Structure 1
Amino acid sequence: NIKFPGCMPVNFSRHNIEEVQRKEENGYFLSEKTDGVRYFMIFTGSSCVLVDRTMKGKQPTPRPGSENENSDPMSPVIPFIKPGAVLDGEVVMHRKLRRPIFIVFDVLALSATQPILHLPFEKRKQYLDRAEFQIPSSSRSVFNKADILNPKIALPLVRKNFVK
């Protein structure tokens, strides 16, 4: 039985405020709770695979009206991401647009040759903030807000906001 290697968030309530305020170094990161389905998003170079907590993989579901039903549902984004990149996040429904998006809250590998799971979350978050899993010569950001409106992208990438 394989254990899901991603970090696990914990609930936060007013009872935890005092403990969080006491932590100076190596403190906590807080973020809004989202209700979605947890996945790793793995980029192979030619496709994108979602892996759930039971370690089962599947392709993202194509959006209705996608141009080419036979191509990878993430094909508009794949050329901009290093093969072997592994993102940790959740598929959630965008409230206003009523469409699925992928909220990225961690990066476990920048590429097939650059795993970073061994690093502390704070360091991995820096890699995520700089989108270092993106191909350096990319002409666009993988976190382009316009992608949310693009029906050709099955799961636009949205970076999770954290406060420390």
Structure 2
Amino acid sequence: MKRTSLSASQCPIARSLERVGEWWSILILRDAFNGLRRFDEFQHSLGIATNMLARRLNALVEAGLLERRPYSERPLRHEYLLTERGRDFRDVNQALLAWGNRHFAPEGPSVLIVNTETGESAEPILVDKISGRPLSDPVFRTIAGPAANERTRAKHNRAVAAGDQP
């Protein structure tokens, strides 16, 4: 069954999920952040079927998150490097790690983010770059942006009128 594409959606979350919403994609990016580059490294780490891995790597290359670069001519072999767009996903990856530790690790965290200078665990939060305030502060909410269509504007206007966040 073919799924519906979200790439034309006005919602930036839906558009992002179109590129990374399949769990293998996020795990491939996680492994790329941890230094893996080659097909066999990803396959060994994930235990994923080779045909599925090839599809996911191709999709990440097409989405501009990874770059495919040859490292061997005979036989032709490629490595997969994070692009700037891919590196920008690191904060999302770390937020998922912290959220998973907080809500889905009853035995305790199995992976931590640590400060390499102090050895202390880090607890990531999203912060507004301009004010330095956490985005969880109630002063922040989403609104329709300048490129929003009528449907998106109406959705956000309804939420504002109701006092809710869309």
TM-score by length of 1: 0.25
Q: Per chain length, whose mean CA-contact separation is higher, i.e. which structure has more relative contact order (CA < 8 Å, sep 6+)?
A: 1
Larger Rg: 2
- Structure 1 or 2: more strand by fraction: 1
